[in-house]
Structure 1
Amino acid sequence: MSLTRRHFALSSSAALAAGLVLGRSGPARAGRTVKLSYQRSSTLLTVLKARGTLEERLGARGLGVSWHLFTKVLEPMNTGAVDLHADVADAVPIFTQSAGAPLTFYAMEAGSPRAEAIVVPDESPIRTVADLKGRTVGVSKGSGCHFILAGALKRAGLRFADIRPAYLEAADGLAAFERGGIEAWSIWDPFLAIVQAKRPVRVLADATGLSSYNRYYTVNDRFAAEQPEVVATVFSALVEAGQWVKANPSAAVALLAPIWGDLPPAVVATVNERRSYAVKAVDRAALSEQQAIADTFHEAGLIPRRLDATAVSLWQPPAGRG
């Protein structure tokens, strides 16, 4: 089956404009409904949704579950549109922190630096990151790949202003890359694996040496304070889902491929191989990489002020669940 933009496009223009699609919800209950968001790269949340894990576990507590698919995650994180937010690459919380969003970090997925990269068509004359000077480079604004691009340019002796950034959401970036509308693309899995399967490409740089590409899970401050047991339930389920994907690679591919738009199994397997899916509690000392990202973004003029990236709220799992 050909890999086209439809695999990751939302089903209607109205939904795309809103950035939101409602997924399957748990049964209506007398208690409140827990609202969770996810995005296309939210593998573990997708696994939990497909298997009905949280509907079962939270349902036993008298709670319903609703799922919300976002293509743009910054706005719902900033506005608190849901209770527990989609997992996001390390750079995204820098923008939410800069915006003053009331978010608590409750889990992190250990690094997967090969899961994001800057690529060009194999036939391109662009051979190195330094060759990107004056070129049009596609990137999703505020994403982890935004930092990889900024960091790689800095390492090559260039400023962000030395390129022509084309701010495109991932599905639009894939279409632009295919038709030659951009000369390079900074992108993450599964889109990276898709484009690598579709045509020969050259990787100019991945996150190695720039970022571990940790992914962070956040929850609204108030919800974390009022519903710690719900957060603990979701945390434990994420840990188990990550272990299941790694222990059952064939079953994981079979579950995810149709959800991700009938992707070829080899593409899904590549995505799952490059991601660690190792979920753990957030250690404040481990946020030092976040500071490097924040400093790079400030130097590039992407955030208006310097941040202490370690000054965020952390939720810790009860003893025996971390």
Structure 2
Amino acid sequence: MNDEPKPGLAVNRGRRAALALGTAALAAPALVRAAGRPVLHAGDQKGGLRALLESADALKDLPYEIQWTEFPAAAPLAEALNAEAVDSGPIGDAPLIFALAQGVRIKAFAANRSDAYGTAVIVRGDSPIRDAAGLKGRSVATNRGSIGHYVTLRTLAAAGLKPSDVQFRFLTPPDAKLALVSGAVDAWATWEPYTAVAESVDGLRVLSNGRGLWSGLSYIAATDTALRDKRELLADFSQRVQRAQAWANGHMGEYAQVQARIIGIPVPAARLAFERRQTRYVPIDAAVIAEQQKAADFYLQAGLLPKRLDVEGTFTRL
């Protein structure tokens, strides 16, 4: 089914030692301080949260420092959370489930919902594959446990196919895109803003999108340690993000300009990704928890979880 060894979020000994060294220096006192102010070590995916906050001028009068670390996808962000190299970060519902199943000690404290179209299975413009059934016997590149992986599995199931009917190649988004463009794989399963860039810049084609297959839920999660020691910082950060999202929804042009600059993509692609997602923050309520449980149960059925995960305990409210 795939060509990589069994998954595990434990970093290798050398990487863990390096991360542990940085973490140890950051661990005392409980509220890490830079120039006398607390520090929140914020992970980000493709600059999304940072672009959002900066475009909305939502970091004004910040009573603490934010040190950003950018990741190309959820898997390396989850590794950093596991090693406590960052305090928090944005993560989709499927990779959150996958990380928790691997023993990462984190909880989601904020939830948002987006239009699921941009989480998609993409093929080259000249590909002979015209529908999901055409994926049988083909190779698909994505991150293991990502929302792209999840949507691929749901796409296959909807077409009456099994996970074993395709060959998964587990690659980071940049490597997966390169593999697709070069013809090394037949399809690539990814998410925004990679999807928008693929369509508007690279001439790639959406074969299957997440509408009707994926909940559109994503979260901001934090380590148990950060939730214990930096809860007030995380609560303030969450409020700023949610206010910034509301601002951005009404100022798409301005937001797209800042996002494009920070993450290094063309402005039209940034605007397409944002306008299409229509992200809204939502309460962590029974409906959200039920949808998360449904996703976890699907991963169990697909053989990606060793046992059933009860998701209710993986949420917290600040």
Q: In the superposition, relative to structure 1, how do residues 218 and 238 fare at CA in structure 2: closer, same or farther (>3 Å)?
A: same
Q: In the superposition, relative to structure 1, how do residues 283 and 80 fare at CA in structure 2: closer, same or farther (>3 Å)?
A: farther
Tell me how far 1:309 sits from its aligned partner: 2.4
Query: For the Cα contact (< 8 Å) 1:117–1:205, is it kept in 2?
Result: yes
2:267 partner letter:
P
Tell me how far 1:107 sits from its aligned partner: 0.6
Q: Distance in 2 between matches of 1:55 and 1:84?
A: 20
Q: Which runs of 5+ in 2 are unaligned?
A: 1-14, 23-32
Secondary structure in structure 1 of the residue aligned to 2:190: strand
Tell me how far 1:184 sits from its aligned partner: 1.0
Q: Distance in 1 between matches of 2:289 and 2:250?
A: 28
Query: For the Cα contact (< 8 Å) 1:77–1:96, is it kept in 2?
Result: no
Q: Distance in 1 between matches of 2:61 and 2:271?
A: 28
Q: Distance in 1 between matches of 2:103 and 2:269?
A: 37
Check if 1:83 corresponds to 2:119: no
Query: For the Cα contact (< 8 Å) 1:150–1:296, is it kept in 2?
Result: no
Secondary structure in structure 2 of the residue aligned to 1:177: helix
1:179-190 matches, within 5 Å, as 179-190=182-193
Q: Tell me the TM-score normalised to structure 1 length.
A: 0.82
Query: For the Cα contact (< 8 Å) 1:109–1:280, is it kept in 2?
Result: yes
**After superposition, what is the alpha-carbon deviation per residue over 1:139-175, rounded to whole angstroms, capped at 9, x for unaligned?**
1112111100111111211111110111110111111
Q: Distance in 2 between matches of 1:254 and 1:64?
A: 24
Tell me how far 1:285 sits from its aligned partner: 3.0
Secondary structure in structure 1 of the residue aligned to 2:110: strand
2:96 partner letter:
P
Query: For the Cα contact (< 8 Å) 1:104–1:315, is it kept in 2?
Result: no
Q: Distance in 2 between matches of 1:198 and 1:223?
A: 39
Aligned to 1:320: none
**After superposition, what is the alpha-carbon deviation per residue over 1:162-219, rounded to whole angstroms, capped at 9, x for unaligned?**
1011111011111111111111111111111111113444322211111122111011
Tell me how far 1:84 sits from its aligned partner: 1.8
Q: What is the number of residues matched between the two proteins?
A: 288
Aligned to 1:142: 145
Check if 1:315 corresponds to 2:308: no
Q: Tell me the TM-score normalised to structure 2 length.
A: 0.83
Aligned to 1:65: 66
Q: Distance in 2 between matches of 1:284 and 1:77?
A: 26
Q: In the superposition, relative to structure 1, how do residues 306 and 172 fare at CA in structure 2: closer, same or farther (>3 Å)?
A: same
Q: How large is the RMSD of aligned CA atoms in angstroms? A: 2.5
Q: Distance in 2 between matches of 1:229 and 1:280?
A: 20
Check if 1:56 corresponds to 2:61: yes
Aligned to 2:121: 118
Check if 1:165 corresponds to 2:168: yes
Q: Which runs of 4+ in 1 moved over 3 A?
A: 49-56, 199-202
Q: Distance in 2 between matches of 1:102 and 1:254?
A: 36
Q: Which range is displaced more, 187-196 or 101-110? A: 101-110
Q: Distance in 2 between matches of 1:190 and 1:147?
A: 17
Q: Which runs of 5+ in 1 are unaligned?
A: 1-14, 317-322
Tell me how far 1:237 sits from its aligned partner: 0.5
Q: Distance in 2 between matches of 1:111 and 1:255?
A: 20
Q: Distance in 1 between matches of 2:107 and 2:190?
A: 26
Q: Which range is displaced more, 115-124 or 132-141? A: 115-124
Q: Distance in 2 between matches of 1:280 and 1:79?
A: 29
Q: Which range is displaced more, 172-181 or 201-210? A: 201-210
Query: For the Cα contact (< 8 Å) 1:84–1:219, is it kept in 2?
Result: yes
Tell me how far 1:134 sits from its aligned partner: 0.9
Aligned to 2:7: none
Q: Distance in 1 between matches of 2:230 and 2:221?
A: 14
Secondary structure in structure 2 of the residue aligned to 1:314: coil
